[in-house]
Amino acid sequence: MGEEGGSVTLLCLTASSGVPLFCRTTGAPSKHQLPFSVIGSLNGVHMFGANLDVLLTAACTANTHVVWRVFHNSITLIVLSAEEGASDFALGRLLDNTFSAMVLILGLEELVNIRNIERLKKDLRACYKLIDSFLAPLERSGDLTQCVECVPVPHGAALQEGLEAFVAAAESRFGCLVVGGRLALATEPWWQLAPQELLLLSWLVGSLPPPTARDYPIYLPHGSPTLVPRFWKPLLEPLQACVRPQPHGLPPGTTLPPGVLAFLLIHREQRSSQSSVQPPGSGGEGLSPRRRARALRHFYALVAARYFPWEGSPAPPQEPFQAGFPHRARHCYVVSATHKAYAIHAPQHQLFLLLAPHVPTFALRPLAARALQRLTGDAAC
């Protein structure tokens, strides 16, 4: 998340005693090392309220958003974001993902019944990579959408066959092919996992150093938070090697209408997504890919938090803003100084487009409709 806009600091403390477990920072790290007293009062103010049955959830100043959340009465997560465009929605997702990541690595038992704090601190180091990837998601969007990001691959059928065979040989039912942090192929049972689990797994794989083979014990926060389903995929390497996916994340042969700078397509039922910040034809015009990604994320957070029906987990504690609308929002657009953005909520899909500023505003809608048609017509997802 953090980048040019400002720093993001994530604090993890024990809920009962307020002992800091870890603190991760992105952005301007040297400047924003929070002093212990500040960490103490950030937690203290929340605890003070909790004792009086008043749950402090968020606060914001002109430049910083702060969000508190307690998980299972055991772990308190606090995030301070000085990022531009930070929202309670995005920060809420960040905390949620962070805790899920901790469960994924350590198991829920370990986190709920803390016996040895020092030990826990040490164990939590294993999560840093994954958590850091949530803090700086770069061009990815899965953390925000809580959809597993997919990438279409050529020769899908052949690879799928190979994957099935491999998984069977490994005496597992779960198997997937991950390309550049995105899911290319998966076995049928794999899709049965909760969307967030799928997401975490692919982000976990992405956060690991690139060895040739992986064998990694995990807990599934939704499916089996206490049990480790182990699986092997040593034979993935040759498969991976033979895959040369397009950088733009489009099914081969698909083109998008001109002027599309970035897109994010969500398959609503499957909770999977496809996205690219460099679709073919967009060229180097306008914003850099990094900034496109930020703009798209920001747009998604805006639309998802305010207009489109709430999807993904967990449900917000209070009825969301969109509940106040007597009618359903279907499309939404934003015209900004540097770009335009358009969103469509279709029965099967949600499409979020980032467009060049020269695209006429009145052309946004037909253009977006055409893009949706092309993307879903022969999409792999």
**Interactions with another protein, residue window 287-326 (CB under 8 A):** 287, 291, 294-295, 298, 302, 306-307, 317-319, 321, 324-326
Least distance to another protein, CB of residue 365, Å: 5
* Of 288, 295, 96, nearest in space to 195 by CA: 96
Q: How far, in Å, CA of 373 to CA of 17, rounded?
A: 54
Tell whether residue 44 is a contact of another protein (CB under 8 A). yes
Interacting residue with another protein among 30, 62, 244, 377 (CB under 8 A): 62
Q: Which of 4, 109, 215, 378 binds another protein (CB under 8 A)?
A: 4
Picking from 18, 104, 7, 113, the residue whose alpha carbon sits closest to that of residue 65 is 7
Site membership for another protein, residue 45 (CB under 8 A) = yes
* Residue 23 sits in the site that holds another protein (CB under 8 A): no
Report d(CA 140, CA 314) in Å as an integer: 20
Is 132 near another protein (CB under 8 A)?
Answer: no
346 vs 380 by CB, closer to another protein? 346
Are 156 and 185 in contact by the 8 Å Cβ rule? The answer is yes
Q: Does 360 bind another protein (CB under 8 A)?
A: yes
Under the criterion CB under 8 A, does residue 138 sit at the interface with another protein?
Answer: no
CA distances from residue 52 to 39, 44, 56, 217, 320 in whole angstroms, order as listed: 21, 13, 11, 41, 25
Specify the residue, 198 or 293, whose C-beta has the smaller distance to another protein: 293
Minimum distance from residue 273 beta carbon to another protein (Å): 19
262-281 positions binding another protein, by CB under 8 A: none
| Cis geometry, peptide bond prior to residue 314 (ω within 30 degrees of 0) | yes
Total residues in contact with another protein, by rule CB under 8 A: 73
Closest separation in Å from C-beta 78 to another protein: 12
What is the distance between the alpha carbons of residues 286 and 199, in angstroms, rounded to a whole number? Answer: 30
> How would DSSP label each residue in 183-225?
EEEE-TGGGGS-HHHHHHHHHHHHHS---S--------SSS-T
Q: Which is nearer to another protein, 168 or 323 (CB)?
A: 323
Q: In what order do the strands lie in the sheet with 20-26?
A: 20-26, 8-14, 75-81, 65-71
Nearer to another protein, 55 or 169 (CB): 55
Considering only residues 85-114, where is the footprint of another protein by CB under 8 A?
A: 85, 88
